Structure 1
Amino acid sequence: MAGDASRRAVLRLGGLAAGAGLLGTGLLGTSLLGAAWPGAARAAGLQLPPGPLLIPSEGHALRRLTEHLSDLPRRRSFTTVPMILNDPAEWDARPLAAVLHNDAGPRQVWNNTDLAGPWLNLMRNALNTEIWGFRHPDFLVVSVTHGPANLALYDQSAWDRYQLAKLTGGRFARNVLIEETPAGALDPGDYERPDGVFSSAAVSIPLLMRRGVVFMSCHNAIWEQAGALIAHGLNRDGLSQGALAAELTNHLIPGVVLVPGAVGTLPELEQAGFTYAR
């Protein structure tokens, strides 16, 4: 019978886990087998996209961090910003500190610059491997996003107002990377489904945020993109570079952590125990 076969498969997996010393550690709970994803327990803050968290029930530290980050406010009311940030009030200092000083792990930081590259899918693969392959439900992924990839962290209203698609070389007509996909609404219990919520069919920034991925935006990239808009005649309001950079900053999507500079923040994360990936 199909039910008997399923039970035998679970028993075989349990036997393998016992032999590997995984049972009793909390690393092979029901959520890692695809049975329980406590979606109702999600943050009440405003910094997460709609939908339940997709963090395993054993991922206690990652869930705490994700919910804490969701509750921390972000300053998005700038009128102008300098080229070089030198005051923590000018970036998301508290969320950054929360990421640097937390007990989730293992932890990995991605140096992401290629807007049209496979960066989102690579982070998805890393999550899947760590969670189900190596039984690390608290695996934390941070995307330090700069260069052209930073365009993905602006909301669609900024893309429309400043014609950001023209900075993509024709590769994007709109910011599709912040759009949820139909696969993102499927049952997370079926984690092996080829077109399911953990598959390449569901890759998007909001879904990865719901899995606990932290997206950091580089102020230097914002400054340079403001300069590019001015150079291309796309500064419709005639703003100074500082004012235009402030306007772009104000249109970062919810959940993003603004940092003073990507390549300068990477060493801070590595010193905090993050493994570098690109």
Structure 2
Amino acid sequence: MKIVTGRRGVLRAFALSTAAGAIGLASARARPASAAVESALTPPGATDLDALKQRLARAPRRRDFKTVPMILTNPEQWDHEALTEVLSYKSAPKQVWDNTGIGSPWLNLMRNSLNSQIWSFKHPDFLAVSVTHGTAHLALYDQATWDKYQLTRLAGEKFKTNTLILERKAATGDPADYEDPAGPFSGEDNSIPALMRRGVVFMSCHNAIWEQAGALIKADVNPDKLSQGALAAELTNHLIDGVVLIPGAVGTLPELQQAGFHYAT
């Protein structure tokens, strides 16, 4: 996999509008992610993790696609700069989660892993990554997309709305009291925003997006009568803030494992 690094190189690539047309994209304008990078939920001493959060917040996200291909072949088609930052993270240990079921305890498991690594084993810079596909990937879309495309039909009746992106009352608890059973490190705060503030990186699988676009077309939930490539592009454009778009979950897992991430599912 060829990964382009360096902000100057990225900007130069975007200046070549003809190149974007050659790979079938109407637009590949990049914007920085503006996800919260507060360190309030990272533990004291997590200097490497806090620095990574800052770099990821500055890394471009491409969210104005008009159409996308089935198989991504050029780094400009995914969030390669953000992915490179994660692959280059040197602190250890680090863990990658293969998350597929929206109704599974995936957020709770990652929270428990963070708590044990940080406070039991004293690894404040521990990094957890969610390689997200299957129905779990639906949680990475904003609520407007859930409403427009009736995503509860794919997620299941338990999820009338995307509750996993909602802030919980526990988020207002005192982060200094990590033993609080109703605080921000407890099961009362199993949410994507809470985990992001703790440094968890959520990765979005392009293959899942493509397949979900196809499923929506097959189910005739396609109000704008878009092609599969155009519908997949719209879904991509509505990923929640801070998510890292990757070419595919199972194809990116080996890259993370080669970079020293421990596999978990």
Q: How many residues align?
A: 234
TM-score (norm 1): 0.82
The answer for unaligned runs of 5 or more in structure 1 is 1-44
TM-score (norm 2): 0.86
Provide the residue aligned with 2:9 in structure 1: none
CA root-mean-square deviation? 1.2
Secondary structure class of the residue paired with 1:189: coil
Provide the residue aligned with 2:158 in structure 1: 171
The answer for unaligned runs of 5 or more in structure 2 is 1-31
1:142 is aligned, of 98, 112, 129, to 129
Provide the residue aligned with 1:85 in structure 2: 72
2:118 is aligned, of 131, 145, 166, to 131
Give the C-alpha shift of residue 51 in structure 1. Answer: 6.0
Secondary structure class of the residue paired with 1:79: coil
- Specify the structure having the higher radius of gyration (Cα): 1
Answer whether contact 1:65 1:104 (CA < 8 A) is retained.
Answer: no
Q: Take 2:143 and 2:186, find their aligned partners in 1: how far apart are those partners? A: 25
Answer whether contact 1:47 1:69 (CA < 8 A) is retained.
Answer: no
Are 1:68 and 2:88 counterparts?
Answer: no
Amino acid at match of 1:82: P
Instruction: List per-residue Cα deviations over 1:98-156 (Å, max 9, x = no partner).
Output: 00002232100000001000000000000000000000000000000001100000001
Provide the residue aligned with 1:202 in structure 2: 189
Q: Take 2:172 and 2:122, find their aligned partners in 1: how far apart are those partners? A: 24
Q: Take 2:220 and 2:123, find their aligned partners in 1: how far apart are those partners? A: 48
Provide the residue aligned with 2:7 in structure 1: none
Provide the residue aligned with 1:15 in structure 2: none
Secondary structure class of the residue paired with 1:180: coil
Q: Take 1:133 and 1:50, find their aligned partners in 2: how far apart are those partners? A: 24
Give the C-alpha shift of residue 166 in structure 1. Answer: 1.1
Secondary structure class of the residue paired with 1:215: strand
Answer whether contact 1:76 1:249 (CA < 8 A) is retained.
Answer: yes
Distance 1:46 1:271, change over 3 A: closer
Aligned pairs for 1:94-243 within 5 A: 94-243=81-230
Distance 1:69 1:258, change over 3 A: same
Give the C-alpha shift of residue 50 in structure 1. Answer: 8.1
Q: Take 2:173 and 2:82, find their aligned partners in 1: how far apart are those partners? A: 30
Moved over 2 A (4+): 49-53
